[in-house]
Amino acid sequence: MKTETIHVLLVEDDFRFVALLEAWLEATSEAVGKRQGMSLHLQHVGDLAAALFRLGTAPFDLVLADLNLPDSHGLATCERLLNHTAGVPVIILSGIDDEDLAIQAMGKGAQDYLVKGSLDEQLLLRSVRYALERSKLQRELEQMRQVQLQIREQEALDRINARGGMPMAAQSLGLQSLSQSQPEVFAGMVDRLVVTWEHLLEMRTHKVSYNISQDLRELACDMGLRKCGPRDVVALYRAALARLERIDKPQRSEILREEGRYLTFELMGNLVSHYRPYALDGLPHSSRSGGGARQPPPPKGGGL
């Protein structure tokens, strides 16, 4: 049987317990490798700050962590670890047998709760194996959920395409598909939307500031000058999402889609606003808001 190496980060400030775990693993590694097909490779840090740094610089398959560390205590330790592990299973270690604390920790996302005083090598290895199996199943279920969301979203986009236009009668304005007629121009617009989308994510995660609305208004104006319609907005969204989305990171995909919907709605609204004066051009002056001068007809030189 091929043995899989499981990289485990142990977060523990009791060096006697660390030495005990290392002795257990050394004594059982060969037998476990033959029987269960896995070998545990342990790396140890003594506080939460070192753990978070190590998690950000190296890949791990599992985290074993004491709740009470020199720089963090209780459920706060569990929460901060879970926020930094990005799907890596976490097993909590504790010196006290507290059922309520165990339930709370697992409710926040920990895979298991082990009491040091009743722990032995067999219980540890069994907990590790089950945690890895549950984590894998959770990822598969999340991927299935993402696929279902994508299918529903695709159906919604297809319905938009089937309706074929905005209330402003897109066909009457001679709107055409930009991706087929001018693929280079379309690719440039996809690039712009990708950058705007990335800026929106940065604003959410790093608290920086970008003028997203201005970028979308400028993009909508350029789309309007080329007589783009709702199908082009949908096509831009799909192309930009395909550029940004990664199947191996379902949480990132969910955030991308959530933020992308806001971008798409705002872009669509800006495009409608661009065309509104042309749609009202044929109405009597008294029917138009403000009774202003007639707007010029839609540009012909930049059309498809």
Place of tokens 């059309």: 303
Do the beta carbons of residue 40 and residue 127 sit within 8 Å?
no
pLDDT at residue 56 is higher than 80: yes
Q: What is the pLDDT of residue 219?
A: 93
How far is the C-alpha of 268 from the C-alpha of 189, rounded, in Å? 14
Mean pLDDT across 60-65? 92
Q: What is the pLDDT of residue 49?
A: 93
Query: How high is the mean pLDDT of the chain?
Result: 76
**Confidence class of residue 42 from pLDDT cuts 50, 70 and 90?**
confident
Least confident of 159-168, 177-186, 264-273: 159-168
Per cent of the chain over pLDDT 70 is: 70
* Higher pLDDT among residues 256 and 16, named by residue: 16
Domains along the sequence of the chain with CATH: 4-137 (3.40.50.2300), 164-291 (no CATH)
Do the beta carbons of residue 54 and residue 43 sit within 8 Å?
yes
Helix (H, G, I), strand (E, B) or coil at 50: helix
Tokens in use for 220? 């909508």
First vs last Cα of the chain: how many Å apart? 62
> Could you read off the pLDDT of 85-124 as tens digits, one per residue?
877 899 998 888 777 888 888 888 888 888 888 888 788 8
> Could you read off the pLDDT of 119-145 as tens digits, one per residue?
887 888 888 888 888 887 777 666 666
Least confident of 157-171, 228-242, 261-275: 157-171
How far is the C-alpha of 92 from the C-alpha of 72, rounded, in Å? 14
> Could you read off the pLDDT of 240-296 as tens digits, one per residue?
988 887 655 666 677 777 788 888 888 888 888 888 777 655 544 433 344 444 444
Do the beta carbons of residue 201 and residue 259 sit within 8 Å?
yes
Q: What is the pLDDT of residue 285?
A: 43
